[in-house]
Structure 1
Amino acid sequence: MVIRPLSSGLQAIAKIELNENPERVETDVDHLRQWISHQPHLRSRTDDQWLLSMLRGCKFSLQKAKKKIDSYYTMRTSVPEYFSNRDPYLPEIQKILKLGLYLPLESYNGPRIFLNRTSNTDPQEIQFHNLMKTALMVMDIVLNEDDNCIIYGQCLILDHKGITINHLLQFSPLECKRALVDTKKAYPFRFKGLHVINTPFVYEYVVTMIGRVLGAKFNSRIKAYAEDNIHKVWENVPKRVIPKEYGGDGKSVEELTDEWKRKVENYKDWFIEDSKYLCDESKRIQVNSNELGVEGTFRQLTID
């Protein structure tokens, strides 16, 4: 089995918070691989590390991991504009990468922070589906590389400095649902919080809309901050992680932008190869509610 070893500290967190049992990992990964091989509608990745990330994101529930994998590829069918033509050198993607609109900050012993700065764009030039496409490319890289994010979870910071009504008009209810709900269902990142900073007069509309889409559980994790109390966002984050522009000692936004532009570009061959993995709904076999497995018993089955 080929997987990255965890530090002793991260392994302890995985055991406590995700129910990870190192002695059972290989068996569970093999179980998922066998299940995928009997799903004619799924053309899925089956490498050890990717399947393990799905298990960790579902706290090692095989039933939930199967649903997560199915949702991950179903999203590619239901929202093809987010996943087609993922060549990092396409002009529309290059434009977004150069602007640094979606940036993972440096890792630390806590949830991975993603900084979204869409307000510094011309809404007439940046189309929402291209922004989402690029953001999901970044998320796929993090999914491939960052065990820390898979285990600790993720936190999204939306910087709305300079946002206008024209920016908000890009977010139709349908687009908002796709971007937030579908992504949450498809990716194995545990949602730890959404912080909206530099909130203008329209922030109540934005936060209310997001809260309604995500539901009560996640609505409690959404916070909005005006410019004069933005420091509260970073209270539990090491200064070495916080970008210089936000009062920290971490890499500047410009440095992070250059770093992630190069990283996404270096994944070009991976994205091209990844395009072959998908969901073909015409081949989906209708199953009963127990087909995905019953918690507590289905680990005993080789194929379900």
Structure 2
Amino acid sequence: MSTVELQQFITILVEGYGARMKSINIVTESKAVELIINTVKQFISEKVGNRMSVQRTLEDLQKVIPKHILPVEYGGTEKSVEVLQDEMVEELSKEEYVDYVKMMFSARTEEGKRNIGKFNEEYLGMPGSFRALSVD
């Protein structure tokens, strides 16, 4: 997975589904990546920074994430990443889900019914709102 795909995935997951990240685990032997992650942690909130970690080996990852959750490629007992991806694509491609997404996308306010700029005695005959009020 490329960094662009990862960023898009996280955006969809967080904004589209309202998911919350429990942790972000990066598996790499590169000390440069660990240095970058530690640098990034300084610029983000402590809460999010504490959720990010770098593991050097798959064994280290298995200490953090149970084997029954990890895909086979990462030494776990779950289905392979490819099978999981195919299942997700199949689920998200179902007609009922596509219809739901279309319905949610079309949900909007009816701006024609908004009461804008009309004279209203209830509000002292002044439309809009005040950002600052100066009294002489």
Secondary structure of the residue aligned to 2:93 is helix
Residue 214 in structure 1 maps to residue 98 in structure 2: no
Aligned-residue Cα RMSD (Å) equals: 3.7
Taking a change above 3 Å as real, the CA distance of residues 268 and 130 of structure 1, as seen in their structure-2 partners, is farther
TM-score by length of 1: 0.30
TM-score by length of 2: 0.59
CA contact (8 A) 2:58 2:75 kept: no
CA distance in 2, matches of 1:213, 1:223: 15
1:188: how far off? 5.5
Higher-Rg structure is 2
Match of 2:2 in 1: 118
Structure 1 unaligned residues grouped into runs of 5+: 1-116, 120-127, 144-186, 287-304
Residue type matched to 2:12 in 1?
A: L
Q: Aligned match of 1:136 in 12, 28, 32?
A: 12
Match of 1:233 in 2: 61
Match of 2:101 in 1: 271
Taking a change above 3 Å as real, the CA distance of residues 275 and 237 of structure 1, as seen in their structure-2 partners, is same
Match of 2:132 in 1: none
Q: Aligned match of 1:252 in 80, 94, 112?
A: 80
Give identity over the alignment, percent.
Answer: 19
Residue type matched to 2:2 in 1?
A: T
CA distance in 2, matches of 1:219, 1:132: 20
1:198: how far off? 1.9
CA contact (8 A) 1:240 1:248 kept: yes
CA contact (8 A) 2:23 2:52 kept: yes
Taking a change above 3 Å as real, the CA distance of residues 236 and 201 of structure 1, as seen in their structure-2 partners, is closer
Match of 2:33 in 1: 203
CA distance in 1, matches of 2:9, 2:29: 25
CA distance in 2, matches of 1:138, 1:235: 26
1:133: how far off? 6.6
Residue type matched to 1:203 in 2?
A: V
1:253: how far off? 0.9
1:137: how far off? 6.2
Aligned length: 111
1:256: how far off? 0.6
Structure 2 unaligned residues grouped into runs of 5+: 115-127, 130-136
1:208: how far off? 3.6
Residue type matched to 2:33 in 1?
A: Y
Q: How does 1:1-304 map to 2 (within 5 A)?
A: 117-118=1-2, 128=4, 132=8, 136=12, 140=16, 143=17, 187=18, 189=20, 191-204=21-34, 206-208=36-38, 210-226=40-56, 229-266=57-94, 267-277=97-107
Taking a change above 3 Å as real, the CA distance of residues 219 and 209 of structure 1, as seen in their structure-2 partners, is same
Q: Which has the higher contact order (CA 8 A, sep 6+)?
A: 1
CA contact (8 A) 1:241 1:251 kept: no
Match of 2:122 in 1: none
CA contact (8 A) 2:24 2:51 kept: yes
CA contact (8 A) 2:13 2:19 kept: no
Secondary structure of the residue aligned to 1:196 is strand
CA distance in 2, matches of 1:213, 1:278: 36
